[in-house]
């Protein structure tokens, strides 16, 4: 392998970021110090997801004593295992140089261009969760060496599902969410507490603002201490009937305005900015969803909440394009967090079996 001085994949898009349906283009760079007999240069595009769910379950040993303990309800041992699921989205390979027939590639520097049409079907956005889940897309270039071990190099790229918040469905707001609670005071029931909340639409991109409408009707004999708005990320992993969920607060807003007893308070077009986040993701083994939680805070912990589901997209409102965002075909990766770790883990690396 000493004859291979340089082996690298270069994408035409410097940010290595593409939408589903676009054409992925670039070059494979090879620099040989001496001639090498090859069958060709192979390129593979691969997209997949992987998730793992930790499962705990009580079980009993198959012995007479175990049977007796089982009958009495005693636990003997805790069984723990991991269930792993994988899902493939795209897998294609072709020669970009040669055709499988041996030939001699002389020493020197070569540039082999490639292009690959990404499927226009529903491909989920790249995602790097914790050690339990990921969605990754990669390009692998392989020197198919005739009389030796092949040499491969892998480079990851980011794929964005085209979730367009200009779509009429995402422009429509969800129905206003309402909740009420009767609160007792000194063992006597007072009047009810009402909470009404809504957002101006259903879909947003990072950097955009949600316009919230919030109304509190406090017919109780107690004053409320304020309102808290949380943006919650919901990660769900689904494997063979087992489901694992995790919630994480991404951003919060506190409206420090108390609502006195027998009072009503209304907030109109209260602005809540979406931080940098990965978009909403849906696939067979993994889901990433978002919701707003609006909560009236009670000093005694008798809080009242409503929940507003929202979609985080990848194509922002047209009116913001000239100021902040780039539309499809010119992607600004700083606008959408795809949770793809940077550094040597996802750099080009040579794999020599």
- Closest C-alpha among 158, 160, 154 to residue 344: 154
Spatial contact of 165 and 315, defined as CB atoms under 8 Å apart: yes
Burial of 56 (0-12, 13-18, 19+ CB in 10 A): exposed
Write out the two tokens for 321: 């394009």
Q: What class is the 168-320 domain?
A: mainly beta
- Closest C-alpha among 194, 167, 166, 200 to residue 179: 194
If DSSP codes are grouped into helix, strand and coil, which group holds residue 207? coil
CA 1 to chain centre: 39
Cite the residue boundaries of each domain of the chain with CATH code 2.60.40.640: 4-54+81-162+335-351, 168-320
Rounded CA-CA distance 127/148 in Å is 36
CA 103 to chain centre: 44
More confident of the two residues 263 and 72:
263
More confident of the two residues 61 and 262:
262
Question: Dihedral (C-alpha) 310, 171, 333, 345: value to the nearest 10 degrees?
Answer: 30
Is the predicted pLDDT of residue 10 greater than 60, yes or no? yes
Q: How confident is the model at residue 343 (pLDDT cuts 50, 70, 90)?
A: very low
Is the predicted pLDDT of residue 218 greater than 80, yes or no? yes
More confident of the two residues 340 and 197:
197
Judged by average pLDDT, the poorest of 56-70, 254-268, 290-304 is 56-70
The residues, any chain, with a CB within 8 Å of residue 206's CB and separated by 6 or more, are 274, 275, 276, 277, 312, 335, 336, 337
Q: What is the pLDDT of residue 272?
A: 96
Burial of 300 (0-12, 13-18, 19+ CB in 10 A): exposed
Q: What is the pLDDT of residue 274?
A: 96
Q: What is the pLDDT of residue 108?
A: 94
Annotate 226-258 with DSSP letters as a single string. EEEEEEEEEEEEEETTEEEEEEEEEEEEEE---
Rounded to 5°, the CA angle 22-26-31 comes to 165
Rounded CA-CA distance 304/180 in Å is 7
Strand partners, 238: 243
Mean predicted confidence (pLDDT) in 87-105: 94
Q: What is the pLDDT of residue 255?
A: 87
Q: How confident is the model at residue 328 (pLDDT cuts 50, 70, 90)?
A: very low
β-strand pairing of 281-282 with 36-59: unpaired
Instruction: Give the number of other CB atoms < 10 A from CB of residue 191.
Output: 16
Q: What is the pLDDT of residue 223?
A: 82
Q: Is the dihedral of CA 65, 69, 71, 75 positive or negative?
A: negative
Taking only the tens place, the pLDDT of each residue in 193-206 is: 899 999 999 999 99
Q: In 277-318, which ranges are continuous DSSP H helix? A: none
Rounded CA-CA distance 108/259 in Å is 77
Q: What is the pLDDT of residue 170?
A: 95
Is the predicted pLDDT of residue 299 greater than 60, yes or no? yes
More confident of the two residues 138 and 260:
138
Taking only the tens place, the pLDDT of each residue in 229-282 is: 999 999 999 888 788 899 999 999 998 777 777 788 899 999 999 999 999 999
Q: What is the pLDDT of residue 297?
A: 86
If DSSP codes are grouped into helix, strand and coil, which group holds residue 318? helix
Taking only the tens place, the pLDDT of each residue in 171-196 is: 999 899 998 887 665 555 667 889 99
Share of the chain above pLDDT 70, in %: 79
Q: What is the pLDDT of residue 187?
A: 55
- The model scores a pTM over 0.85: no
Fold of 4-54+81-162+335-351: Immunoglobulin-like (2.60.40)
Is the predicted pLDDT of residue 321 greater than 70, yes or no? no
Is the predicted pLDDT of residue 141 greater than 50, yes or no? yes
């Amino acid at each position: 392998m000493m004859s291979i001085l340089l082996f690298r994949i270069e994408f035409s898009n410097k940010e290595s970021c593409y939408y589903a349906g676009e054409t992925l283009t670039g070059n494979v760079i090879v620099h040989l110090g001496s001639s090498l007999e090859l069958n060709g240069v192979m390129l593979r595009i691969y997209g997949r997801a992987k998730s793992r769910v930790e499962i705990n379950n009580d079980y009993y040993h198959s012995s007479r004593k175990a049977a007796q303990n089982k009958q009495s309800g005693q636990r003997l041992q805790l069984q723990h295992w991991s269930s792993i699921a994988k899902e493939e989205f795209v897998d294609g390979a072709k020669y970009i140089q040669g055709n499988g027939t041996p030939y001699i590639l002389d020493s020197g520097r070569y540039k082999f261009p490639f292009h690959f049409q990404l499927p226009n079907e529903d491909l989920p956005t790249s995602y790097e969760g914790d050690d339990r889940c990921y969605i990754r897309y990669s390009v692998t270039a392989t020197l198919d060496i005739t009389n030796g071990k092949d040499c491969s190099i892998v480079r990851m790229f980011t794929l964005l599902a085209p979730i367009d918040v200009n779509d009429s469905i995402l422009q429509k707001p969800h129905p206003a969410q309402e909740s009420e609670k009767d609160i007792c005071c000194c063992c006597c029931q007072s009047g009810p507490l009402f909470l009404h909340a809504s957002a101006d639409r259903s879909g947003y991109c990072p950097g955009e603002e949600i316009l919230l409408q919030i109304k509190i009707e406090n017919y109780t004999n107690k004053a409320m201490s304020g309102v808290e708005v949380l943006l919650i990320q919901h990660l769900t992993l689904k494997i063979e009937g087992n489901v694992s969920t995790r919630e994480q607060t991404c951003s919060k807003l506190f409206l420090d305005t108390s609502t006195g007893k027998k009072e009503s308070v209304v907030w109109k077009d209260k602005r809540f900015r979406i931080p940098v986040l990965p978009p909403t993701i849906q696939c067979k083994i993994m889901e990433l969803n978002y919701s707003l939680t609006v909560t009236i805070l009670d000093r005694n912990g008798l809080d009242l909440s409503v929940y507003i589901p929202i979609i985080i997209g990848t194509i922002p409102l047209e009116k913001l394009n000239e100021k902040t965002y780039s539309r499809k075909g010119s992607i600004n990766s700083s606008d959408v967090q795809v949770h793809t770790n940077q550094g040597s883990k996802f750099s080009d690396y040579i794999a020599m079996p």
